[in-house]
Amino acid sequence: MLKSVLAAGAAAILALSAFPAASRDRYAERPPVMISPDLSAPWVMQLRDNRSPMAAKRQRSQASGPSLFGTPAPQQVKRTRQKVSPFRTASVPAAKPRAVRAPQVDPKYLPQMVDYDGGRKPGTIVIDTRDNFLYLVQEGGKARRYGVGTGKPGFEWAGTHKITSKRVWPDWRPPAQMIARERAKGRHLPTHLAGGPENPLGARALYLGSTLYRIHGTNQPWTIGGAVSSGCIRMRNEDVVDLYERVGVGTTVVVM
């Protein structure tokens, strides 16, 4: 055992004696690494001169755009924001107005020349309240025929009268009986309405004898051809104007 202890001590002494030499060798100054000028010259030139062929090629490639073998060169794009006025409204195409189609008059009620053999002399007005036609008898077995609106059920009448008066855009004064009748239905009529486009007597009126009945125009032309009135004979405004010019006071009117 004593021998082993002595041997360990001897080994430790040897290790301590070798340590200073190893330390000095570790920190000793090394000779510089030498690089051949043939290898170092091109790299030093690149570092010193930015205008080297490689640098110029790199600058040209950046200026000309992305390379086929490299990543695209970043491009600075100057973006300008458009100023939008807070008062600017969006442009929306205007909606086309929808056409309102007025009620049409049956063509058979439009003025036309027809044959007539009723035996009345030319210049006489004959009104057929069953078929809603007014005839102005002409020479040679002809008559000028107009469509008309006639009295509603309960307001039909027949007789022969003379035209006693003619009016252009006549005023309307509803009879007292009509005012009372309409009031009972909850409708209040004016006692007087001046002539004009809104007047129910229309553009012209031909007054018949001493009766309350008239041949007159209307602002409701779509009612022509029906039983729609309180006994008066309605015509389209353009038709009553035409008839007005063709007949005079004293003309005989026959209502059948």
Chain length of the chain: 256
Do residues 116 and 122 make contact, with C-beta atoms less than 8 angstroms apart? no
Alpha carbon distance 221, 197 (integer Å): 12
Do residues 122 and 139 make contact, with C-beta atoms less than 8 angstroms apart? yes
Alpha carbon distance 93, 233 (integer Å): 48
Q: Which pLDDT value is given to residue 71?
A: 45
pTM for the predicted model, two decimal places? 0.60
Among residues 161, 188, 192, 232, which one is catalytic?
A: 232
Tokens coding 150: 């006639």
Q: Which pLDDT value is given to residue 68?
A: 40
Tokens coding 158: 């027949």
Q: Which pLDDT value is given to residue 152?
A: 94
- Is 11 in a helix, a strand, or coil? helix
Q: Which pLDDT value is given to residue 84?
A: 47
Q: What is the 3-state secondary structure (H, E, C) of 15-65?
A: HHHHHHHHHHHHCCCCCCCCCCHHHHHHHHHHHHCCCCHHHHHHHHHHHHC
Paired strand residues for 137: 143
Q: Which pLDDT value is given to residue 187?
A: 87
Do residues 116 and 127 make contact, with C-beta atoms less than 8 angstroms apart? no
Do residues 157 and 255 make contact, with C-beta atoms less than 8 angstroms apart? yes
In order along the chain (256 residues), what is the average pLDDT of each group of 10 residues? 55 52 53 56 52 52 46 51 46 54 82 95 97 97 98 95 98 88 88 90 97 95 95 97 98 98
Do residues 109 and 224 make contact, with C-beta atoms less than 8 angstroms apart? yes
Do residues 61 and 74 make contact, with C-beta atoms less than 8 angstroms apart? no
Residue from 249, 224, 243 nearest 126 by CA: 243
Q: Which pLDDT value is given to residue 96?
A: 57
Q: Which pLDDT value is given to residue 67?
A: 42
Question: Could you say which DSSP state residue 239 is in?
Answer: H
Sign, Cα dihedral of 229, 230, 233, 237: negative
Question: How many CB atoms lie under 10 A from the CB of residue 189?
Answer: 17
Paired strand residues for 145: 112, 135
Tokens coding 32: 């510089």
Annotation says 232 is catalytic: yes
- End-to-end CA distance of the chain: give it in Å, rounded: 166
DSSP for 117-140 reads -S-PPTT-EEEETTTTEEEEE-SS
Residue from 151, 158, 130, 143 nearest 223 by CA: 151
